């Protein structure tokens, strides 16, 4: 590995205030150009938000793009030139092993070489919202205070425009499911998991109970990242891009999160207030009742409670509910996307907030046997 820089390392007097951004790249020069233009335009300070570009292949055009901006460029040897073990049975997934290797190398640079306390991680096929930096700057303060939070994500896994309330673009949630796709981690987490970083499929690995340890990520109602068309040529061969990723929208009306009180995200406060909203302030309906009034084009929130709840007790019931509402149906070790204590939330075109919640009289926690491959 050879590390090269286009900018000097920030003076240590700013050490405690720095939230670096690292962009992982290979050979998509146009994608990097677009993202770096946005990042350098929107960041409030080059000192507070230094940008690193980490490249793990030998594409000169991409390197040339990085050289045009006030960023630090880090060059790693290409995975094809290095000997590392990929099981023969997994060779068709070798790209996922290359990606996991790149993440580890990039994070070693940030935490072990440059000694930063945190990092925002992006891949070059993402776009960012205008309030991207405000979002991470403010939520990072909550992460530092609350050890039950292990990441901040800019992504809502169910962030399709018809499933979110764009007017609640300042609303944030705790989630037991790691979203990724523009996320922040700190040195505390790196010290804990860095030495056991996996050879492949790092994102599935970080969702496992052994890494999560019942901690959560913070995620927004309205995403602060979105996928560009460059993502169609990624590791998933365009399947998830066409069917899902391309449909997620990022926030268009900026929020100054630094002016907001985000203390409601701290576990003790959140667990009291959120569970009251879900189980006490909302009205319980059966799925058939919800189907009846949501399928009426003329129904509005004033016709029914603005907060409604559909409870589930079985895997089949859960699948029927989320399928009807258009939510992602898959799990990781029994945890559904966006779930918190088994609860999901979505929004309807009729102006109704819907909670999909476990029946507390029988719910014993996540069932690792619940698994659905979309």
Known catalytic residues?
203
Tokens of 369: 């046997």
Cα 13 from chain centre:
31
Determine the longest span between alpha carbons in the chain, in angstroms.
64
Contact status, residue 167 vs residue 192, Cβ threshold 8 Å = no
Contact status, residue 336 vs residue 365, Cβ threshold 8 Å = no
Vertex 351: Cα angle to 348 and 355 (nearest 5):
55
Using CA atoms, how far residue 321 sits from 16, 174, 294, in Å, is 46, 21, 13
For 106, the enclosing helix (H) or strand (E) is helix 94-107
Question: How far apart are the C-alpha atoms of 99 and 94, rounded to whole Å?
Answer: 9
Residue 11 has, within 13 A of its CA and on its CB side, a CA count of 2
């Amino acid at each position: 590995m050879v590390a090269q820089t286009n900018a000097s390392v920030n003076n240590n007097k700013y050490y405690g205030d720095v939230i670096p951004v690292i962009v992982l790249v290979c050979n998509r020069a146009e994608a990097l150009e677009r993202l770096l233009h946005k990042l350098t335009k929107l960041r409030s300070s080059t000192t507070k938000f230094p940008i690193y570009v980490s490249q793990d292949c030998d594409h000169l055009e991409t390197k040339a793009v990085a050289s045009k901006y006030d960023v630090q460029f880090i060059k790693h040897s290409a995975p094809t030139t290095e000997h590392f073990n990929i099981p023969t049975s997994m060779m068709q997934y070798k790209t996922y092993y290359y990606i996991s290797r790149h993440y580890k190398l990039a994070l070693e640079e940030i935490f072990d070489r440059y000694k930063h306390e945190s990092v925002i991680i992006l891949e070059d096929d993402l776009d960012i919202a205008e309030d991207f930096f405000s979002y991470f700057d403010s939520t990072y303060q909550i992460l530092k205070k609350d050890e039950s939070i292990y990441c901040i994500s800019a992504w809502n896994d169910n962030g399709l425009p018809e499933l979110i309330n764009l007017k609640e673009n300042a609303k944030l949630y705790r989630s037991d499911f790691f979203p990724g796709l523009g996320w922040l981690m700190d040195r505390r987490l790196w010290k804990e998991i860095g030495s056991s970083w996996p050879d492949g499929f790092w994102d599935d690995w970080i969702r496992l109970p052994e890494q999560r340890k019942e901690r959560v990520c913070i995620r927004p109602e309205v995403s602060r990242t979105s996928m560009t068309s460059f993502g169609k040529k990624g590791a998933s061969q365009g399947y998830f891009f066409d069917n899902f990723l391309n449909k997620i929208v990022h926030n268009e009306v900026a929020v100054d999160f630094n002016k907001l009180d985000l203390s409601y995200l701290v576990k003790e406060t959140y667990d009291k207030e959120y569970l009251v909203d879900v189980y006490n302030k909302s009205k319980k309906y059966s799925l058939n009742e919800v189907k009846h009034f949501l399928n009426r084009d003329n129904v509005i929130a004033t016709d029914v409670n603005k907060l409604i709840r559909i409870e589930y007790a079985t895997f089949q019931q859960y699948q029927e509910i989320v399928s009807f509402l258009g939510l992602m149906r898959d799990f990781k070790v029994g945890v559904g996307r966006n779930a918190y204590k088994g609860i999901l939330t979505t929004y309807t075109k009729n102006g109704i907030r819907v909670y999909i919640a476990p029946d507390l009289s029988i719910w014993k926690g996540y069932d690792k046997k619940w698994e659905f491959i979309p």
